[in-house]
Structure 1
């Protein structure tokens, strides 16, 4: 089974209260052998400056301490989840280069600094129009030269918009999604299976299986598995389902990372 969780948040993120050490202890208790802390490094407001809300010197220092204390039991990596905002591409990459990251998730959380999760972000748009806006923005973002490892929860948008259903019409959006996936593959970047979709009662992981199968059929190989846990009780949650999805799509491997380079782990 999968013993690596590549997406989690701690009290260093604005949306979590969990202490790093508690996450490490819980990860060991449930049998994980490798974890990556991927706290938010995001710019989703209009002042156009890097504002991570994280003291990264303290952050890296705490991870270094935990690696020494628990290194015999678990491998702990330094990661981040960034918001892909094209207008500050250089500033974001320059900031990331300051620290020795092992793994970075690039996510589509905001459109021109306006958070997709805000209630008024879809105002005046039909569901398909709103999702089209998201995927067109995604194409623009992934074609830039951001330094990231995998694109996070590619169909994240289906959680939001205030619509009665959470249905993604693939007939309408297929070509947009295909272009995102092809761009990622051409740039040597991967995607994640994010099991939070199940916790949000969407009925499937992010991305839905049809998108994951499309990625595989296009030649994509780099897939990480992450719980997107914001509390320790959600660590590695529904990884058995993620494992089955990988196998059903025909993947023979999932990915870990070492110093921003993918390492492939065989699926038994």
Structure 2
């Protein structure tokens, strides 16, 4: 599908009105927590007047063998390619991946990156240092010191990932607040980690990589994007050029949710374009 910025009718989402809505973070049933097939996701995206999606099914490298991620990702890439042909002219469909624990086994990380033809590689960190997914953590039992140590470790881990420079997009930078604040109502002063976050953003910008505005928090208990506007502005101040928008949809009816609000946030941060990836290359789209 040829993607031409500016084509198509103007689409309204809530109080925001934009054209060319692209969702760069979606999960199919090839993710263990996804609910719908890629074909069904694409049907819903067309119904919602989305111009393009990138399927970024999970690939947690710490549990690569146990969770049979090689089979899952191979199927995801295959189905995305099939959907691209079926929906040609209606929807741009890209094959991506969301890699987790990329520093756990560097050789395996390299193998995965070399084995699949991805349009976009997003990296995220969902696990604690012990390898537990924070979705299952009962942060209510953690002391303030425990939380501080975890967040210090989390952001330093992402800094090492940024220095590794083998990805296209750094996903949901402030992910832990989805659970700490959103689910457990524990207030977090992220300013305590601004020096490390600055280093992450500066390294990502210097390497010509993107960060993501993850909009899932807007319709979840958190009530904000990940990262919030403050860090989107700071990324631009540090020379950042590329930003993707992602709903983090795990079900078809959530595709595109919050994307228009994310585009408004980009404008508020001083950006004039967002990014969509094809064949590991950033494609800028003017926000209009």
TM-score after normalising by structure 1: 0.90
**8 Å Cα contact 1:9/1:231 also seen in 2:** yes
Written as runs of structure 1 = structure 2, the 5 A alignment for 1:155-166 is 155-161=174-180, 164-166=184-186
**8 Å Cα contact 2:155/2:196 also seen in 1:** yes
Q: Report the alpha carbon displacement of residue 166 of structure 1 after superposing the two structures with TM.
A: 4.6
**8 Å Cα contact 2:274/2:285 also seen in 1:** yes
**8 Å Cα contact 1:117/1:161 also seen in 2:** no
Give 5+ residue unaligned stretches, structure 1: none
Q: Per-residue CA shift, 1:78-116, capped at 9, x if unaligned?
A: 100000431312211222211110001100112343323
The 1-side partners of 2:65 and 2:86 are apart by 38
Q: Per-residue CA shift, 1:32-76, capped at 9, x if unaligned?
A: 12111100011244x888941644443333222222221121111
**8 Å Cα contact 1:101/1:260 also seen in 2:** yes
The 2-side partners of 1:70 and 1:242 are apart by 25
**8 Å Cα contact 2:121/2:168 also seen in 1:** yes
1:149 aligns with 2:168: yes
- The residue matched to 2:213 in structure 1 has which SS? strand
Find 2:158's aligned residue among 138, 142, 147.
Answer: 138
The 2-side partners of 1:48 and 1:33 are apart by 35
May I ask how many residue pairs the two structures share in their alignment? Answer: 266
Q: Report the alpha carbon displacement of residue 164 of structure 1 after superposing the two structures with TM.
A: 4.9
Equivalent residue number for residue 180 of structure 1: 200
Cα root mean square deviation, aligned? 2.3
Q: 1:128 to 1:87 in 2, by over 3 A?
A: closer
1:39 aligns with 2:57: yes
Q: 1:251 to 1:17 in 2, by over 3 A?
A: same
**8 Å Cα contact 1:44/1:110 also seen in 2:** no
1:104 aligns with 2:121: yes
- The residue matched to 1:168 in structure 2 has which SS? coil
Q: Per-residue CA shift, 1:20-40, capped at 9, x if unaligned?
A: 111000111111121111000
Q: 1:70 to 1:91 in 2, by over 3 A?
A: same
Q: 1:58 to 1:133 in 2, by over 3 A?
A: closer
The 2-side partners of 1:98 and 1:110 are apart by 24
Find 1:28's aligned residue among 17, 25, 46.
Answer: 46
The 2-side partners of 1:72 and 1:183 are apart by 37
Q: Per-residue CA shift, 1:126-165, capped at 9, x if unaligned?
A: 43333222112222222224x3111000000112348853
**8 Å Cα contact 2:21/2:260 also seen in 1:** no
The 2-side partners of 1:52 and 1:58 are apart by 10
Equivalent residue number for residue 17 of structure 1: 35
| Consecutive aligned runs of 4 or more in structure 1 exceeding 6 Å deviation | 47-50
